[in-house]
Amino acid sequence: MRVAPDAWGSAGFTGAAAREPEASCPFAPSGDADVAGADVIGGGGTGAGAAGAGATGGCTPAGLRPAASRATVLPRLEGPLPPSLRSPDIARDPYPLYRTLRTSHPFHYDEAFGAWLISRHEDVRAALGDPRLIAPVQGSAPLEDRTHAAHRALLSPALRGRALAALRAGVERAAFVLARRLADRQEADLVTEFCHWLPAVAAVSALGLPHEDTARVREWCRDGLTHLGGGHGDLDVFLRPHVARRRARPGADLLSVLCTARADGRPLPDETVVGMAGTLLGAGGEATHLALASFLANLLDHPTQLRLVRERPALIPGAWAESLRRDPAVHIVMRRALVPVVTAAGTIPAGADVACLIGSAGRDPVRFAAPDHYEVLRPAPGRLAFGTGRHRCLGIQLARLTAECALHAVLEALPRLRWTPAGRPESEGLTTRGPKTLPVLLG
């Protein structure tokens, strides 16, 4: 995914310096949890599709009816310029700024951030889908359209359909192992002991890497590597022997798909394969762990809704989509105008950067009634959290599978799960965002 300019610096992604002490890997061969031998929970069945919307039928809670009947153009108010996205405190709580931007400055140049800010749902959706706005890449030229489309075409089948179904059992088992390890404890932090691990397991399974390397992969997942074709020293060294093995003896995993793929009649070079694998780890890992942490936090905040989801697992996909609307993991996606671009929001000059504020779009009252409220029965929470257009996320289904497995395991293994008296910790982050800890009581 392409993210805001600071994603490669200190503010956005979690750097090594900010990490908590290393946790022991629950998937190491000599560890106490036997992934292969663990019970598999559930029957794989939460039902597919937008169950939250469709399956709930006439259950739309009062006050959550679509906002279509309301005015779609809010009055433009005069007043002081809004603070910059870079101002102190915005990363702690960006929502007041988002409100100001949507209401009175829907197309605003943020000098300090160096980009035009687009904040209304409709404008964000349109900008992300606009082919005249390209996804800038830090440190290297953007992939030309044909190569980008070819890479997507390669990756996409391996992250959905039958290939995805083949991953479910492994992710389910891992989720259950992780949750069961906590079952005898009184307290735990679900971010470090659960949310950080499961996306790494999903990535390891998808790429066909050894499970005993999950702890290393988890670190790369948390780095948030973000560009197709990119590289990362340690990751290169780790992946290259696996690439060589897959070239000699391909299997059914995603790394084998990349190693056997041909572009213009030739195999993909090693650096491309390694770059694409790295992109999947970074793009998928960090976003999924943050989204998972927000999902669990939203349900812990609403015990009645948690009970409802427990009783009716078909609501889980809708509950996940609603959490991504209210608390998306990726708040800012960048675009750059190659030519002057006239949009409904305003004219973007050639060469200018645009920050599409996904976090603001999900709270737009013109699109969503009671937008700050978390409601698992909301009829249409949308999917803007995964972007739209040519760069729409390739991991939507893998992320959803991971979230479903996570929640099933947590509900089954930790039936008394609730906040500690301190309650929900604040989310943090400007570009990517989520709670950094989830302190819970289990006993």
* One residue of 101, 330, 354, 406 binding ligand HEM per CB under 6 A: 330
CB of 202 to ligand HEM, least distance (A): 7
CB of 393 to ligand HEM, least distance (A): 3
Residues in region 265-284 near ligand HEM by CB under 6 A: 279-280, 283-284
Pair 368, 325: CB distance under 8 Å: yes
The widest CA-to-CA distance across the chain, in whole angstroms, is: 66
And the tokens for 134?
A: 């390209």
Q: CB 159 → ligand HEM: shortest distance, Å?
A: 6
d(Cα 419, Cα 300) in Å, to the nearest integer?
A: 7
Is residue 433 a contact residue for ligand HEM (CB under 6 A)?
no
Q: Does 377 bind ligand HEM (CB under 6 A)?
A: no
Least spacing, CB of residue 170 vs ligand HEM, in Å: 14
Contact 345, 124 (CB under 8 A): no
**Minimal distance, residue 104 CB to ligand HEM, in Å:** 26
Least separation in angstroms between CB 73 and ligand HEM: 26
Contacts 24+ apart (CB under 8 A), 27-33: 27/174, 27/177, 27/197, 27/201, 27/204, 27/211, 27/212, 27/214, 27/215, 28/212, 28/214, 28/215, 29/211, 29/212, 32/181, 33/177, 33/180, 33/181
* Contact between 399 and ligand HEM per CB under 6 A: yes
The beta strand positions in 11-145, using DSSP E, are 107-110, 115-118, 133-134
> Closest CB to ligand HEM among 27 and 82?
27
Which among 294, 271, 274, 314 has a CA at the least distance from the CA of 408?
A: 314
Contact segment (CB under 6 A) with ligand HEM among 89-97, 188-196, 328-336, 370-378 equals 328-336
Single residue of 170, 313, 371, 395 touching ligand HEM by CB under 6 A: 395
Q: Is 48 helix (H, G, I), strand (E, B) or coil?
A: coil
> Which residue in the set 97, 101, 118, 128 belongs to the binding site for ligand HEM (CB under 6 A)?
128
- Site membership for ligand HEM, residue 329 (CB under 6 A): yes
Q: Spell out the residues 6+ positions from residue 80 whose beta carbon is closer than 8 angstroms to its own.
A: none
Catalogue the E-assigned strands of 208-272: 262-263, 266-267
* DSSP of 21-41: PPPPPTTSTTSS--TTTSPPP
- 420: CB partners within 8 A, 6+ apart: 187, 439, 440, 441
Report, in Å, the least distance between residue 387 CB and ligand HEM: 3
Is residue 207 close enough to count as binding ligand HEM by CB under 6 A? no
Residue 125 lies near ligand HEM (rule: CB under 6 A): no
Residue whose token pair is 């909301």? 378
Chosen residue from 355, 386, 427, 433 binding ligand HEM by CB under 6 A: 386
| Closer by beta carbon to ligand HEM, 100 or else 402 | 402
Q: CB of residue 201 vs ligand HEM: minimum separation in angstroms?
A: 12
Q: Does 333 bind ligand HEM (CB under 6 A)?
A: yes
Under the rule (CB under 6 A), what is the footprint of ligand HEM? 1-2, 128, 135, 152, 279-280, 283-284, 287-288, 291, 328-330, 333, 385-387, 391, 393-395, 398-399
